[in-house]
Amino acid sequence: MAYQYEGFDLTGKVAVITGGNGGIGLGYARGVAAAGADVSIWGTNPDKNAAAEAELQEINPSASALRCDVSDEEQVEESMAAVVERYGRVDACFPNAGIGTQNQKGFHEHSNEDWFSVIDVNLHGVFFTLRAATRQMIAQGEGGSLVLTSSGTAIQGAARGQAYAATKGAMLAMMMGLSVEMARYKINANAVIPGWIDTAMTERLFNWDKFVDNVMPRIPMRRWGVPDDFGAIAVYLMSDAARWHTGDVIKIDGGFSIF
């Protein structure tokens, strides 16, 4: 009898993916939905939510979308409760929602609002989401997976992007602490560092010839990443195949960070 490996089958598992209505989040969602998972994507844009929900339901009819601003603690708690009410459980949480630096000011010119507008979504929102998810996973008593979306700015200098970089660096520290604390509950925690990905967030840069001419030669794979480059890692980290894989920082960047 031929050996069959079923470690990547996500049937019966439920994933929450914030910022799942586009970009890397939608790439995660497509991957886990195709592997059989029930998926709840959260986003703030109703039109993008509806379009992503319809697309995901073509892959797995159980997929759904919720309008949620993760910087609002009450909305996060209500959304997590809605997921549990609908699906009965949560097995994986991808706190992926984030915003980029909202201005091009020098660091010394940043206002408090410039700083906190990024921190509130990218860091406080991750905290609210992970707290709600881990509470549910611990109550279930069957383990789970936490997959944080960090950034190359966490390990490389980014001028005028200190607020964004600070949140992404903090996410790595949060992930490492979670990987130790949650291990007793069979919950693993890992982080993904994407490279330069073709999304709405990077559209302005990718249309800037100077940026393209300087960055593309530094990517050994000689192309921008796309959201679907992240489906497989989402499936793996959510699956039973990754049950002993925790505390890791996984770079998916076409070789950019080592070249």
Note down pLDDT in tens along the chain; length 259 residues: 566 567 899 999 999 999 999 999 999 999 999 999 999 999 999 999 999 999 999 999 999 999 999 999 999 999 999 999 999 999 999 999 999 865 678 889 888 998 999 999 999 999 999 999 999 999 999 999 999 999 988 888 888 889 999 999 999 999 999 999 999 999 999 999 999 998 888 888 888 889 898 999 999 999 999 999 999 999 999 999 999 999 999 999 999 999 8
Beta bridge partners of 147: 190
CA distance 28 to 17: 8
DSSP state of 151: -
Please state the φ and ψ torsions of residue 20, each to the nearest 5 degrees: -90, 5
Q: Do 251 and 219 form a contact (C-beta atoms < 8 A)?
A: no
Tell me: domain 14-196+227-253, CATH 3.40.50.720, correct? yes
CA distance 54 to 159: 38
Strand ranges (DSSP E) for the chain? 14-18, 38-43, 64-67, 92-94, 144-149, 187-194, 249-252
Q: Rounded to two decimals, what is the model's pTM? A: 0.94
Domain spans, the chain? 14-196+227-253
Known catalytic residues?
A: 164
Q: Do 148 and 192 form a contact (C-beta atoms < 8 A)?
A: yes
CA distance 106 to 127: 28
CA distance 210 to 195: 18
Encoded tokens for 242: 């990754």
